[in-house]
Amino acid sequence: MTFKVFVDGQEGTTGLRIHEYLAARSDIEVLKIDADKRKDPAERSRLLNAADVAFLCLPDAASREAAFMVNNPNTCLIDASTAHRTAPGWAFGLPELARGQRGAIQASKRIANPGCHASAFILAVRPLVDAGLLPRDAAVTATSITGYSGGGKSMIAEYQQQPLPAHLQAPRPYGLGLKHKHLPEMMAHTGLATPPVFMPIVSSFYKGLTVSVPLQLSQLAPGTTPEAVHAALAAHYAGERFINVMPLRDAATLEAGFFDVQACNDTNRVDLFVFASDTQVLVMSRLDNLGKGASGAAVQAMNVHLGVEETLGLV
């Protein structure tokens, strides 16, 4: 069977990467809009309603507008923006989130693609909350370091200047107003009662992302050990093709002395780590911010929704 797919916002970073994923798929017919009609509402509406699956790779307001254009009950929307990630009636497009999430994605015609920072944070934290190790009212902090491609075309152009300006050569913390756009989904899909204190950092490499969540063992349920934290992650993701729980205190990383933020690049994989002392644990989640953090996640959600092999086009 061939499925018709339209990418609204096909010239953006996420849209272009989705096209790359779909290019080799014999089961997909990609519907393309002529360059001179990309902002024509009538043509966009026609293609959105002609598609079995339509990806919205647009700013939030434009995604909401596009969603209102769809009156075909058979069109599934997968929105890569922030607009619908906590909205009622929209399934969260993270199949590994919890038991039953794949069923919700398959059944829904409205799927919200997770954010890159949020995906890494949620995948690290949700199993600990579900296992009862991390209280829902815990005061959690997180730091994320990411490549500049997550900032879209304008930031990519900024970082690809030659020579690179001095102020872009060092990592740049941002989101200093403590109101990052991913915070609502980071709360909603982990079960935390309060938003984490979240520090994102962009640096002068193209792609790759790592979220670090430091925890005192005293914050966790009484008697919790590093082994229990690691076991909760391993149990939650047992059998998951795209989630790799690394050994406790991963020896190869410790021997290297440094953490490789880019080791999941060009994959749809997430690596999860637990480093620990007698009193503290550091949970780290690594992914490609353009892969599992954006376009790869969208294609994975499409595969789940359509009932085809979940890894199709992603490995």
Asked whether residue 315 is assigned to any structural domain, the reply reads no
Q: What is the pLDDT at residue 10?
A: 83
Nearest to 76 by CA among 178, 3, 160: 3
Domain count, the chain: 2
Kind and range of the H or E element at 55? strand 53-56
* Judgement on whether residues 183 and 226 belong to the same structural domain of the protein: yes
Q: Where are the alpha helices (DSSP H) in the chain?
A: 13-22, 41-50, 60-69, 101-107, 116-130, 152-159, 183-188, 226-236, 251-256, 296-306
What confidence score (pLDDT) does residue 308 get?
Answer: 97
What spatial distance separates the first Cα and last Cα of the chain, rounded to whole Å?
21
Q: Could you say which of 57, 76, 116, 264 is catalytic?
A: 116
Asked if residue 8 lies in contact with residue 54, where contact means CB atoms within 8 angstroms, the answer is yes
Q: Give pLDDT, residue 99.
A: 93
- pTM of the prediction? 0.96
Per-residue pLDDT of the chain (315 residues; tens, 9 = 90+): 899 999 999 888 999 999 999 998 999 999 999 888 888 889 999 999 999 999 999 999 999 999 999 999 999 999 999 999 999 999 999 999 999 999 999 999 999 999 999 999 999 999 999 999 999 999 999 999 999 999 988 899 999 999 999 999 999 999 999 999 999 999 999 999 999 999 999 999 999 999 999 999 999 999 999 999 999 999 999 999 999 999 999 999 999 999 999 999 999 999 999 999 999 999 999 999 999 999 999 999 999 999 999 999 998
CATH number of the domain within which 57 lies: 3.40.50.720
- Picking from 77, 73, 101, 100, the residue whose alpha carbon sits closest to that of residue 8 is 77
236 neighbors 218 (Cβ within 8 angstroms): no
How far is residue 116's CA from residue 264's CA, in Å, rounded to a whole number?
A: 13
Query: Is 116 one of the annotated active-site residues of the chain?
Result: yes
- List all residues 6 or more positions away from 103 whose beta carbon is below 8 Å from its beta carbon: none
Pull the structure tokens for residue 268: 């749809």
The pLDDT value given to residue 315: 87
Q: Residue 91 belongs to what domain range?
A: 3-114+293-306
Please give the Cα distance from 138 to 219 (Å, whole number): 7
- Report CA Rg, the chain: 20
Taking each continuous run of H as one helix and of E as one strand, the counts in the chain are 10, 13
Residue 122 belongs to domain with CATH number: 3.30.360.10
Predicted pLDDT at 36: 84
Please check whether residues 89 and 45 belong to one and the same domain: yes
> Is residue 168 located within the same domain as residue 120?
yes
* Per-residue pLDDT, 226: 98
Within 8 A by CB and 6+ apart from 104, the residues are: 91, 92
Which of 274, 257, 290 has the alpha carbon at shortest distance from 116? 290
Both 106 and 163 in a single domain? no
Residues 140 and 183 in one domain: yes
Q: Are residues 104 and 162 in the same domain?
A: no
